[in-house]
Each structure stands twice: as C-alpha cells, then as structure tokens.
Amino acid sequence: MLNNSMTYHFIYKTTHQNGKYYIGRHSTENLDDGYIGSGLWPSSIKDRSTLTREILEFVDNSDTLKQREGEYLREHYGQPGCMNATTDPIGFDSENNPMKRPEVAAKLSGDNHWSKNDPEAYLKLRNAQLKLVEEGRHPLVGNRNPNKNGQNAKVAIERGTHVNLTNNPSKWRSEQGIHHWQNGNSPNSGGKLNKKLIEEGRHNFLGPEHNRRMIAEGKNPWVGSASNLRRLAEGTHPSQQKKTCEHCGKEASVGMYKRWHGDRCKNLDHPRITQ
C-alpha cells in the first residue's frame, strides 16, 4: 500500500538475465529512481541493463519494511539463484541513512574517504575478512554460503543461464572489438611469439633433433609418461610424425595436416570443412 507521506516503502527483487536474483528493501519518494540494490552482488554487476527490478510488496513504514525484509530473506536465502549473503536485514533505513546528509557525505567521500586517509586500509580490511573466514564467522562460509557446493553455478549451467554462457566477458568484448588480445595485442599477433621462440631455439615444432635435446635437458613440455618419453626419444611420437598433403604436396606434422591440408587444403576449389 502507499502511505500518505508519499514515501514508498517496499520489498524488491532484482533479477539478472541469467536467473540470479537479490532481495532487498527500499524507501523512496520516486518509484522510478532506478535503485536495484546496494549489496555486494548487485553492486558487482557492471552492465546494469542485464538487471530488472520488481516490487514484491509495499508496506506502511520503515519498521515494518525491515521486518518483512528479514522474513523474505529467511525464505529465499540459500535457494538456487539467490545471491543474498545473509538472512539479516542489514543496512540503514533510507530516512536514517547518514549519507543522505550533505555534510556527512562530504566528510566521507572523495578525498576524505577512509581508503584515502590510510594507504593500508584495504589490506586491513582484507585481513579482517580473512580472520572471519578462519574463525568460521564469515557470512559466506559453510552452510550460509548461497553458492555452497556450487549449487547456484550448477543449476545455472543446467538451465543455460550461467553468466559464462549468457554474458561471457571474452565473447562480448570480442564482439565489440575491445578484447585485450585484439587489435594486434595478442601475444602471438602476426606470429611474433612463434618467431621469437624459433629464433631462440625454443619452439616445440623445430623438429626431432630439437625435441631430443629438450628431452635430454628435461625441458620438453610434452614429457609425460614413460611411454611418451620413449617414443619422443625414438622419434616415433605422433607429434613428430609427418604427412604429405595429396593436394599441395607439402609435408607437415599430423596435427598441422589435419588443420590445414587434406580436405581443408587451400589448393582445393571447394574445401570441405569438417569438425
């Protein structure tokens, strides 16, 4: 219900497009203020367009609001998809939040923020969190962890809503052309890493003699079981075998033949690409 003072008190649910959600409370004079939560999880979401907020219930005052939030949290906490870190309705009520007062905000933000006054502030905070973990009192330790045993991740993957499936940073950054390995920034852009390794005599594909020397020095990255060691030393390991392409006549390792020759050879007018 809406109260006479036109300050709205309500319980909300913020949901990500991958199915994860967060329960919280909010008091405001503007229902369209865009508030989606200030907890750890909603604050960690960079792309706010992936979040939607729905109002679950209006109440009359802030005391009832806090009580109802606790009831909602106890109902949802630990359920698949719920990202609340505790069952406690923590945080200031909107009208009692000291940061709403300009003089307080000025003292605690910008250059006056606690992290600016103490260079080791974040280290102290980290150590305090580690101490809570060691003592078993951290809100995300044990049965209180909403993702205990990876339950949320497993459910999300099964549903196809896991963030790595729906909002994989590498995928969308690549699509937008802003991935850190694009635009010539890849370690092997233009084959520069391969060229460097070949010049230094450290490339894996320099041939049997190189492999034998690397094996003798104990530096070959493919050294594994006794069988592999023997086959590498004898030059009979699959990685050392060569095959000639019937279309272009070039000799290549078996791996390179499968990738670039045979049915994939560029000399074919219509190469048949197979997976």
Split at pLDDT 50, 70, 90, the class of 62 is: confident
Do 105 and 17 share a domain, yes or no? yes
Do 80 and 18 share a domain, yes or no? yes
Residue 166 lies in a domain: no
- Give pTM, 2 decimals: 0.41
Do 27 and 72 share a domain, yes or no? yes
12: closest CA among 27, 75, 99, 139? 27
Within 8 A by CB and 6+ apart from 149, the residues are none
39: closest CA among 17, 20, 64? 20
Average pLDDT across the chain, whole number: 80
Do 75 and 25 share a domain, yes or no? yes
In whole angstroms, give the CA distance from residue 229 to residue 41.
49
Residue 179 lies in a domain: no
Within 8 A by CB and 6+ apart from 106, the residues are 112
Look at residue 52 in the predicted model and tell me its pLDDT.
94
Look at residue 65 in the predicted model and tell me its pLDDT.
92
Residue 135 lies in a domain: no
Do 97 and 56 share a domain, yes or no? yes
Q: What is the mean pLDDT of residues 36-48?
A: 87
Residue 199 lies in a domain: yes
Do 12 and 100 share a domain, yes or no? yes
- Which has more confidence, 164 or 30? 30
Look at residue 1 in the predicted model and tell me its pLDDT.
46
- Which has more confidence, 121 or 147? 121
Q: What percent of the chain has a predicted confidence (pLDDT) above 90?
A: 14
Residue 10 has pLDDT above 90, yes or no: yes
Q: What is the mean pLDDT of residues 160-179?
A: 77
Strands (E) across the chain are located at 8-16, 21-28, 51-59, 242-244, 251-253
pLDDT (tens digit, 9 = 90+) per residue, 206-228?
A: 777 777 777 776 666 666 667 67
162: closest CA among 20, 46, 51? 20
Q: Which of 66-70, 182-186, 240-244 has the highest mean pLDDT?
A: 66-70
Q: Which of 62-71, 140-149, 224-233 has the highest mean pLDDT?
A: 62-71
Do 219 and 253 share a domain, yes or no? no
Q: At what angle do helices 226-234 and 208-216 cross, to 10 degrees?
A: 130
Residue 146 has pLDDT above 70, yes or no: no
Residue 154 lies in a domain: no
Number of domains in the chain: 3
In whole angstroms, give the CA distance from residue 202 to residue 192.
14
In whole angstroms, give the CA distance from residue 94 to residue 3.
15
260 is in which domain, residue-wise?
244-275
Do 257 and 233 share a domain, yes or no? no
In whole angstroms, give the CA distance from residue 222 to residue 238.
11
With tokens 């979401």, the residue in question is 45
Do 224 and 248 share a domain, yes or no? no
Polymer length of the chain: 275
Q: What is the mean pLDDT of residues 7-36?
A: 92
Residue 118 lies in a domain: no
Contact 68, 89 (CB under 8 A): no
Look at residue 264 in the predicted model and tell me its pLDDT.
84
Do 76 and 12 share a domain, yes or no? yes
Q: How big is the CA angle at 70 (ends 151 and 100), to the nearest 5 degrees?
A: 110
- The residues pairing with 238 across neighbouring beta strands, listed in sequence order, are none
Do 104 and 14 share a domain, yes or no? yes
In whole angstroms, give the CA distance from residue 22 to residue 11.
11
Within 8 A by CB and 6+ apart from 139, the residues are 85, 86
pLDDT (tens digit, 9 = 90+) per residue, 82-136?
A: 998 888 887 766 666 776 778 877 877 778 777 777 878 888 888 998 898 888 8
Last residue of a domain, one of 85, 110, 135: 110
Residue 252 lies in a domain: yes
Do 275 and 201 share a domain, yes or no? no
In single-letter form, the type of residue at position 24 comes to G
Residue 182 lies in a domain: no
